Structure formats: C-alpha cells, structure tokens
Amino acid sequence: MSVTVVGSIAFDAVKTPFGERARMLGGAATHFALAASFFDAVSVVGPVGEDFGESELAVLATRGTNVEDVERVTGGQTFFWSGEYGWDLNSRETLRTDLNVFADFAPKLSAASRAADVLFLANIQPELQLSVLEQCTGPRLVAMDSMNLWIDIAREPLLEVIRRVDCVIFNDAELRQLTGQPSILGAARELLGWGPSVVVAKQGEYGAALVTPEGFFALPAYPLARVVDPTGAGDTFAGGFVGHLARNLDEATSDHVLRQAMAYGTALASFNVEEFGTERVERLTAGEIYGRVDELKRITHFELDPLSLETR
C-alpha cells in the first residue's frame, strides 16, 4: 500500500518554558510523513524555497519517504511560522506567519502520488484540498485535517471536502465550531451524517476520541512528566493513525484496527512532544513505538468485578 500527504513543509521558530529553537524543520506534511513512514510507503507533496537544504530534505526522506513531489520554488523562501507557548502548553501565541512559497501553492501530483491507496489532506485551503481530490485516481481511503480559519472564511468548500472523505481528524474546538454542537460526541455524530465514516477528535493533553456509526472509543494522552514542545503533535498523531490504517487497509474501518490506530497515533504524538520539532521522531525506532503502545494498553485496562455492587 502507499500513502500520499499534501500539505505544508515549513521552518518553525518556537519558544516554550523548556527552551527555544530559532529555526527548525516543521510543517504538517513533514510531521505526518515522519510518523506514517513507520507503517507504509509515503509520498510528500508540498512547496519549499531555495533556503530548504539537502539536510532538511534528507530528514523528510527518512525511512524511504518519496520526496519527488516536493516542489522547490526558484527564488522563493520556505513557509515560516513563529510561536511561543506558556506554561499551559495547550495554547500558544503566534508571533509571525510568512506564507512565502505557500501563498501560491498549486498542488501538482505525480502519477505515483495520484495513484496512492491512501490520501491525507493536511491543513491547507479547502479549495486546494478539492483540487487534490480531483487529481487522484481513486484512493481507497481519504482522511483530512483543517483549522478554524477555513471554518470561518471557506465554509462551503470545506463542507464539500468533508462530504468526499472517509475520515476527519479535527481538534475538539474545530468540531464544536463547525457543527455548533456543544459536546464532542454530538458534534462528531453530526459530522458522520455529512459523509465521513470516521471522526477523530484531538484533545491535546487529554488524548483523543474516535467516533463511528457503530460506537465510541477514547484514549488518554500517554502520561509524560515533561512536555518540551507540542508543535506538530496533532500531525504526528494523524501520521500514526492513518499510517496504521494504510498498513491494514483491507480492515481499515473495522473497530479493532481503528482502536489500534488510535494507540499508535497517541504513542507517536507522545514522542513528538518530548523534544523540539522533529528531533525525537527522527531517531525513533519501531521498538520504542511498540513498547509505548503496549504500555498504553496496560494503563488503560481494567477488570470489572461483577459482584462488587451486590456486596452493599
């Protein structure tokens, strides 16, 4: 199987209570690809400028990721984002956003990228997501992300994208904003009625929830005593989640595979936040991921004593 991701490749400048980086590799497509490449062959589609060097390209190509559709724009500068986190790492202040080459991005997919079995539409303008869907030749699974800005200013094309995908991966605030529903479960169930068969609600340090027409499942975030940088955690989660579905594509919408995907996404996101940017995931091993998934299984398992209520 194969996975194509279309989205941003960026340089980030981040400051948190635990340190800072003036320039580090980032972007939704980058974080997604580094995670998904543990499970399947990945192709990345996105623009970069002349300032994007071979060392950054080599990181993006970790574990054999195909970077042939990374478009280097002559004379351009790579998308740049700067932000600062306080002690509450669930919220951040954006200090600077320079779209640079991303401002004129028009996705151009090679034949290999168009023919992928799985397509992930990272957080880009809904009109661009629609153009990617038009180029693809029938992926068996399509998942997407978005953001509050597009809900505000591009609602109609966003709704059209949602109607055409199988899986939506939004954070809890975006689900509420999009549907007007106050509860995550209510919002997710409404979204299921619009077309997708799977809705994932990302909830930061509180974990993530999975909603399908058949049921509900949730996992807490993996417990960490110290979080260094949450930038890219949601995209890393999506890479683990979608990557596991791609590896098990024939059963991708089955309950047990979806639950496993939640665990792999959660584990990968927990590694991402331990260091800045892509630093931790770059050198991550499959054994480390499996060990953390196994630990998630242990800490979320309990046995019910059927006699406990009868003793009162």
Segments making up each domain of the chain, as ranges: 2-299
Question: With pLDDT > 70 as the criterion, what percentage of the chain qualifies?
Answer: 98
What digits encode the pLDDT tens for the residues 191-247? 999 999 999 999 988 999 999 999 999 999 999 999 999 999 999 999 999 999 999
| Residue 312: band (very low, low, confident or very high) from pLDDT cuts 50, 70, 90 | low
Confidence check: pLDDT of 303 > 90: no
| Residue 309: band (very low, low, confident or very high) from pLDDT cuts 50, 70, 90 | low
How many CA within 13 A on the CB side of residue 129? 28
The fold adopted by the segment(s) 2-299 is UDP-N-acetylmuramoyl-L-alanine:D-glutamate ligase (3.40.1190)
Output the CA torsion 289→23→42→116 (10° steps): 130
Please choose, from the candidates 39, 53, 48, the residue with its C-alpha nearest in 3D space to the C-alpha of residue 118: 39
The strand pair at 167-171 and 198-202 is best described as parallel
Question: If you search the block for the tokens 């002559």, which residue do you land on?
Answer: 74
